[in-house]
Amino acid sequence: MMKFIRKRSANAKNDILSGLTVALALVPEAVAFAFVAGVDPLVGLYAAFMVGLITSAFGGRPGMISGATGALAVVMVSLVSRGNAMGAEGENMGLYYLFLTVILMGAIQMLVGAFKLGKFVRLIPHPVMMGFVNGLAIVIFLSQLGMFKTVVNGEKQWLMGEKLYLMLGLVALTMAIMYFLPKLYKRLPEALIAILVVSGIAIGFGLDVSTVGSFIREGGGEGISGGLPTFQLAIFEKIPFTWETLKFIGPYAIILAAIGLIESLMTLNLVDELTETRGSSNRECLAQGGANIVTGLFGGMGGCAMIGQSIINIKSGGRGRLSGIVAALALLMFILFAAGLIEKVPIAALVGVMFMVVIGTFAWSSFRILNKIPLSDAIVLISVSALTVVFDLAIAVMAGIVMSALVFAWESAKRIRARKHLKEDGTKVYEIWGPLFFGSVKAFNSKFDIQGDPAKVEIDFIESRVADHSALEALYNLVEKYEAAGKQLTIRHLSEECQRLMMKASPKLGKRNQLVRLLIEKGISSKSVLKAIGKIPRHLFIDSSFEEFAYQDKPFPIAAGQTISQPYTVAFQSELLAVKAGDKVLDVGTGSGYQAAVLHEMGVKVFSIERQKELFDHTRNLMRKLGYTFHMKYGDGYKGMPSQAPFDGIVVTAGAPYIPKPLVEQLKPGGRLVIPVGQNVQKMKVLTKQNDGRLVQKEYGEFRFVPLLEDKNG
């Protein structure tokens, strides 16, 4: 227990001290970014206080510091300028438009968090992350160079002579303290000690150096002294809530929300790595959005995570929420009670701290690995670093993600493979390896030899995945081409999701799927029957003039005055047979061949007999084209096929006036004869042959079939 208390006490001490250090470093940053945006320094300081306090208390990454940032400030310049132009001179309408925009920005960020979109930060590749870190380190370094300027006769000029040497000396002293102190004493944050020591030297010896106060006054401000933030009722009084207002602030709000979230979530990832813990990106989005809404309502310029101050906090020992809360409250105390004291802190001390942040932030290892990683990753890393410096973080990260995605697509497209082999029954199998998506569609299509392939083809996706609509379209077109060539294409091992999408994308496959669902609704329950009907392209078994209606549950006329039975009837008779894969079944009345095809797809050994010569010849040719190799005979269905008997099942697909005795004799014991019996309207009868030769008969409803023709001369 005592150990736990001591640990908590040590953590609290570290958080408090690191929070004070961060608060000192926040002052010039918040002021500088307020100047960039064209607003009063207090607007930046209030933003640092409110955003920092709320995100530290409720955000998804303890130890991360948020406040006014340069990435947001550069976008706000145009907003404030255009807003001022909309009001009278001195009315300062740009400031109120800024507050309203920050409120809308916060609402957008909260929506991102509510819909849990923050998780997509995981998709940012490591080269982009390294480029981001390096680019921000350079940006922080360049931003500190402005501190080496002073105002002379109303113009900013570089420090020269004694002032420059004094500035460089104090910066170097700050950096030296931060570098060597941890080697000797680790109980206090080195950045805080460095700031205090350098401030003491500058004040004690009366050195003529730039301070926080002089920096603010040179920028046109009056200091950091102020009161508590107040509710900005003027936003609602001065700005008309119209469509025109939304069109003006909307684009700015979206851009600011995107930049803020990208910078914050990238910083969250970096802090995760530094602390070897994991934050919540969605919670951070919600907290940041709420913080910006409050900040806009109380007169702040909004903000997001600050990578420099976050690293100062982590390096100073700050790990918990208390560190950020202390930093925010300390900043408020500076504004309310200690403005005079804080304004005496030499800028050189803060610049030295930020230079050490730059050294600690830059991924120096990237130089070592540049020649060891793929060229594409090296280009992405360098490009993101450069774009971060030249443009801004959002553009750099988005460009890096796009570049990485294109490289991935190109490399993945080259990995698509097809291994080919023949089954014993002559079916050609294409085993696909690698992802099928828009980038690999062309290579995928080149793998197939539609004209040279046999009548039955399978595509096996067990080692592949269909990734997008382009892939679905490629599959659909392939099915169409094989069917147009009179060949049967079967697609195996698609994921359930891909199967559903393909059914939606392909009209014929979709109708086939709808037909299966209709049969289920009508009471067909045999999985083997339903699966067989779902695989068969029924439109190839009927005249092309009826193709549009092929998957309706209706019969259609075919050659020689015969019909193709409605799918329900075919399914019902197949289910009544109660046969299993490997059983022998006699199909009496081949007709279009649809019934025989269903039985064949069920794994049954099919023997089929047809009385009409014209129909027999046509169907035999069609079956060969589709790759169905079952035995077909031209002959009298009443006589059956005694040379192949006995059969496990016999199905008659035409109406018989009586039950032919030869068919009964050709049944195995336990076998079933399914036959419609009657003249104009038939009763569906099922006869089961017992071991002693007796027949058990059942009837199942009324049906209408064409008559079963008998060879009267035979």
Q: Collapsing DSSP states into helix, strand and coil, what is residue 456?
A: strand
Using alpha carbons, select from 696, 651, 695 the residue that is nearest to residue 675.
651
List Cβ neighbours of 152 (8 Å cut-off, separation of 6 or more).
none
In angstroms, rounded to a whole number, what is the distance separating the alpha carbons of residues 52 and 24? 14
Contact 474, 445 (CB under 8 A): yes
> What tokens does 143 get?
């931003």
Contact 556, 563 (CB under 8 A): yes
Q: Collapsing DSSP states into helix, strand and coil, what is residue 25?
A: helix
Contact 301, 68 (CB under 8 A): yes
C-alpha pair distances (Å), 214 with each of 252, 297, 347, 638, 640: 32, 30, 9, 112, 110
Which H or E run contains 395?
helix 393-413
- Quickly tell me which residue has 């740009």 as its tokens: 94
In angstroms, rounded to a whole number, what is the distance separating the alpha carbons of residues 182 and 194? 11
Q: How many CB atoms lie within 10 A of CB 641?
A: 21
- Give the catalytic positions in this structure: 565
Within 467-545, residue ranges assigned H as helices are 469-484, 496-505, 507-521, 527-535
In angstroms, rounded to a whole number, what is the distance separating the alpha carbons of residues 199 and 207? 10
- Quickly tell me which residue has 């800028």 as its tokens: 347
> What tokens does 625 get?
């084209």
In angstroms, rounded to a whole number, what is the distance separating the alpha carbons of residues 271 and 276? 8
List Cβ neighbours of 644 (8 Å cut-off, separation of 6 or more).
584, 586, 607, 631
Q: Collapsing DSSP states into helix, strand and coil, what is residue 461?
A: strand
The long-range contacts involving 617-621, CB below 8 angstroms and separated by at least 24 positions, are 618/559, 619/590, 619/591, 619/592, 619/593
Instruction: Note the Cα 656 to chain centre separation in Å.
Output: 61
β 149-152/155-158 pair status: antiparallel
Angle at which helices 393-413 and 243-275 pack, to 10 degrees? 70
C-alpha pair distances (Å), 679 with each of 76, 465, 616, 700, 703: 88, 54, 24, 16, 11
C-alpha pair distances (Å), 219 with each of 159, 179, 211, 323: 16, 32, 12, 30
Classify the phi-psi angles of 362: left when phi > 0, otherwise alpha if psi is within -120 to 50, otherwise beta: beta
C-alpha pair distances (Å), 683 with each of 22, 220, 385, 516, 657: 91, 101, 81, 25, 10
- Quickly tell me which residue has 């530290």 as its tokens: 56
Q: ∠ CA 43-48-53 to the nearest 5 degrees?
A: 130
Q: How many CB atoms lie within 10 A of CB 612?
A: 19
Q: Collapsing DSSP states into helix, strand and coil, what is residue 158?
A: strand
Instruction: Note the Cα 289 to chain centre separation in Å.
Output: 22
